[in-house]
Homo-oligomer: A and B are copies of this chain.
Amino acid sequence: MSHQIRIVTESELRGAVALDIAAIDVVESAFRALGEGNVVMPSIMSMELPQANGEVDVKTAYVPGIDGFAVKVSPGFFDNPKLGLPSLNGLMILFSAKTGLVEAVFLDNGFLTDVRTAAAGAVAARWMAPTNVETAGVFGAGVQARLQIEAAHLVRPFSKVLVWARDEDKGEACANDIAATLGIEARYEADPARVVAESQLVITTTPAREPVIKADWLHPGLHITAIGSDQGAKNEIDPAALAKADSYICDSVRQCAALGELRSAKAAGTWTGGNPAELGAVILGKAQARRSAQDITICDLTGTGAQDTAIATHALAAIDRAGAGTVVETSPGESGPST
């Protein structure tokens, strides 16, 4: 029996998959499924390659109601920039959730991860940020700083952006890009406390190992989404801030306790509140995040396999519509009896 597999490159995906409301909605559906409790999501598989200053993470999840499941492999090789290559690469494979056959191979070099991570930030903003956001602040000046602001703007159409980064030149370049993309005011701000003070929505996208946001900067009517910490050693938010917020929400408690801000807060002894609620529960109305415009809320995003499954399925539909990708024919079981 012949079977077709779609092979899709990064540039084909960039041509077909946009960071838009549809992408945000599909990622939201993944969080909703997580909240319903029927998602099967194994712990992240991680491997270090010390001789190459590299690491590899593998994520997957089965989300009932979605026809496929993705397996994502994300290598990070931190000496690559010396070779003129990006540190982060990788691919996603989409399998049929009915037969296990490979449906598509997305040679995306992390593009779909960028999209689903930004979309998750927008989901957090949609459900947790104050209704009116005039100014958004972003920490970091990389791809995610740009994409998080772009995605958040779709759900909270703020008119001003402040960018903080360790490197002023990169921060200014990022602010200029944001201003050009969104057609709004955006500028670099050297004082991180001022970024927080002037913003109603703050998104942190740094690889920081020491907090870049202090607990006493929190102010009424602030929402923070922290997406940088995805490893045991990372920490963007002052551990004391989590308990100080009116609401602290995780994408996945298991992951945040191992890799996110919750890990740092637990290690510092400043989080004693038991298991926080998850974003999926907030979406389902099982948990409350923001109760008033004055609440202070924090969302901790480590990145889930459920998001990967959602965005990969969304991407295949977009690729189908565009007629993009290379089709490879295989014949599963062509070769005689199975064991």
Binding site for B on A (CB under 8 A): 1, 5, 7, 9-11, 14, 40-43, 45-52, 54, 56, 58, 60-62, 64, 69, 71, 73, 75-77, 80-81, 83-91, 93, 95, 97-102, 105, 107, 109, 111, 140-145, 170, 173, 205, 207, 326, 328-339
Chain B residues positioned under 8 Å from A86 (CB to CB): 332-333, 338
Question: Do B326 and A326 touch (CB < 8 A)?
Answer: yes
Complex Cα gap A332–B45 (Å): 23
Contact A100 B60 (CB under 8 A): no
Establish whether residues A42 and B49, one from each chain, have CB atoms under 8 Å apart when the complex forms.
no
Instruction: Kindly list chain B residues whose C-beta atoms are within 8 Å of the C-beta of A83.
Output: 99
Among A7, A14, A111, max chain B CB count under 10 A is at: A7
Q: Which residue of B lies closest to A83 (CB)?
A: B99
Residues of B with C-beta under 8 A to A85: 1, 99, 101, 332-333
Beta-carbon contact of A102 and B97 below 8 Å = no
* Assembled-state Cα–Cα distance A61/B49 (Å): 9
* Contacting pair B49 A69 (CB below 8 A): yes
Instruction: Pick 6 A–B contacts, CB within 8 A, sort by A.
Output: A42-B46, A75-B101, A88-B338, A107-B328, A170-B337, A173-B337
Contact assessment for A338 and B95 in the assembled complex, using a CB-CB cutoff below 8 Å: no
Q: Are A205 and B99 in contact (CB under 8 A)?
A: no
Partner of A75, one of B87, B95, B333: B95
Given contacts A85-B99, A328-B326, A336 and B9 within 8 Å (CB-CB): no
Contact B73 A71 (CB under 8 A): yes
Contact with A144, one of B45, B46, B71, B339 (Cβ below 8 angstroms): B339
Verify A11–B331 contact, CB threshold 8 A: yes
Inter-chain pairs besides A7-B7, A45-B60, A143-B336, 11 sampled, C-beta below 8 Å: A7-B105, A9-B330, A58-B60, A80-B99, A85-B99, A87-B338, A89-B99, A105-B107, A141-B337, A143-B339, A144-B339
A143 touches B60 (CB 8 A): no
Among A76, A111, A207, A338, the one with the most B-chain Cβ atoms within 10 Å of its Cβ is A338
Given the contacts A5-B107, A328-B7, A335-B111, A77 and B56 also touching, CB distance less than 8 Å: no
Q: A228 vs B9: C-alpha distance in the bound complex, in angstroms?
A: 38
> B339 to A88, Cβ gap below 8 A?
yes
A89 → chain B closest CB, angstroms: 5
The chain B residue sitting closest to A77, CB to CB, is: B100
Is there an interface contact between A52 and B97, defined as CB atoms closer than 8 Å?
yes
- Distance A10 CA – B73 CA, assembled complex (angstroms): 21
B45 & A58 in contact (Cβ 8 Å cutoff): yes
Q: Are B76 and A337 in contact (CB under 8 A)?
A: no
Question: Contact: A89 with B62, CB < 8 Å?
Answer: no
Complexed CA–CA distance, A170 and B118 (Å): 54
Q: Closest residue to A102 on the B side, CB-wise?
A: B91
* Alpha-carbon separation in the docked complex, A46 to B71 (Å): 11
Choose among A40, A73, A89 the residue with the greatest number of B CB atoms under 10 Å from its CB: A89
CB atoms of B52 and A332 under 8 A apart: no
Contact A107 B330 (CB under 8 A): yes
CA distance A43 to B44 in the complex (A): 11
With A326-B328, A335-B10, A339-B143 known as contacts, the answer to whether A99 contacts B73 (CB < 8 A) is: no
Q: Is the CB of B84 within 8 A of A89?
A: no
Most B C-beta atoms less than 10 A away, residue of A10, A81, A97, A339: A339
